[in-house]
Copies of this chain bind each other. A is one copy, B any other.
């Protein structure tokens, strides 16, 4: 591969690429510390660049977020492949949903834009979300085929549940309420009642 697809046929300038990855690195740091609602100008300042440069690279907070998350995509893809080996379809679905839940908790406040991405489908995150729903659907179907998941459950709803659970996590952790209580509640919701074949 030649390395890039710029609008013109030219290779992108070296400083552009350098800045881009530097921004991503700083943003990752900053969002980890302050949650995704931290000041973008502050990120620019910390990165030692002007706000204009930041916004040229990432016109919106969501696009920056999307770029950050894309870096984690590979990891999650690998995880998905591993889960595919799981023979028990219910356990596979459960593990996949856990993985998504973890992914959605990467930064404080992340669930909010994810939810928005699902409604306004103009967000750079929309595609990622829809991909996840598709994968969820695969695991869900497998579980349903095996009679391990209720038939009326839909992948989209499961995805939303996971996001919602992640959203609530902060609150759940504060009190003695275990963070997994909601996850369990949800799992009981989609799992088929224990049958004779179990």
Contact = CB atoms under 8 A, between A and B. Distances in A.
Contacts of A177: 154, 156-157, 160
Interface residues of A, number: 36
A150 B115 contact: no
A104 to B, nearest CB: 13
A154 B194 CA distance: 22
Interface stretch (A2-10, A15-23, A48-56, A179-187): A179-187
Contacts of A174: 118-119
Given A167-B164, A167-B167, A168-B164, A157 B186 contact: no
B185 A115 contact: no
B153 A185 contact: yes
